Amino acid sequence: MRKVPTAILISGRGSNMLALAKAAQSPDYPCQIVMVASNVPEAEGLQRAADLGIPVQALDHTPFEDREAFDQILHHKLQESGAELICCAGFMRILTPWFVDQWKNKIINIHPSLLPKYKGLNTHQRALDAGDRFHGCSVHFVTADLDSGDVILQKKIKVTPRDTAETLAQKVLKIEHPLYVEALRKVAESR
């Protein structure tokens, strides 16, 4: 079985990256993680990836004069890695339309809401403020419009009266990991 070369973009501890990387170690998983890159050089996830033997790339975004200059370097590094798919896993940067166009239908992201609800940040508090009975996460294709690409898979959880933004975040993170692994498999197998 051919494994699709896949890169993962992170900005923090990399818990979703770790779930994907561990799944990819299985002989029957259709992806191989060829690089983990972060725009935050001290991101904990870079060391976690390196510990698994995955090539890592720290690309600090702060010295770049604009988003596109950073995205061009990132694009070049991804091409060098041989990646054919990109997973954004807690990557806290909005990619430019130019970058998204270079990787059209090849970038997926996990988002902590039941899209199209609550695009952007603070999704857990927004779900509570709206009195939602259900909340969850979505894996979707990345487009130039924030959190607007086609949804690949979603999973929902019940919101209880005792929930806070913090407890919802913990509950959603638990379902994110297996959902992202399943969604990446689905995308890779359909290529």
Q: Which two tokens stand for residue 187?
A: 């995308």
Half-sphere exposure of 117 (CA within 13 A, CB side): 19
Structural domain of residue 79, as residue ranges?
4-189
**CATH number for the domain harbouring residue 65:** 3.40.50.170
**Residue 188: per-residue pLDDT:** 97
- The CA distance from 82 to 187, in Å, is 17
pLDDT by position in tens, the chain (length 191) = 899 999 999 999 999 999 999 999 999 999 999 999 999 999 999 999 999 999 999 999 999 999 999 999 999 999 999 999 999 999 999 999 999 999 999 999 999 999 999 999 999 999 999 999 999 999 999 999 999 999 999 999 999 999 999 999 999 999 999 999 999 999 999 98
**Residue 1: per-residue pLDDT:** 85
Q: Which two tokens stand for residue 116?
A: 């199209």
Catalytic site residues?
111
**Residue 139: per-residue pLDDT:** 98
Q: What is the pTM of this model?
A: 0.96
How many separate domains does the chain show?
1
Q: What is the DSSP string of the chain?
A: -PPEEEEEEESSS-HHHHHHHHHHTSTTSSEEEEEEEESSTT-HHHHHHHHTT--EEE--STTSSSHHHHHHHHHHHHHHHT-SEEEESS--SPPPHHHHHHTTT-EEEEESS-TTSS-SS-HHHHHHHTT-SEEEEEEEE--SSTT-SPEEEEEEEEPPTT--HHHHHHHHHHHHHHHHHHHHHHHHHT-
- The CA distance from 169 to 51, in Å, is 26
- The CA distance from 59 to 40, in Å, is 7
Bridging pattern class, strands 85-88 and 56-58: unpaired
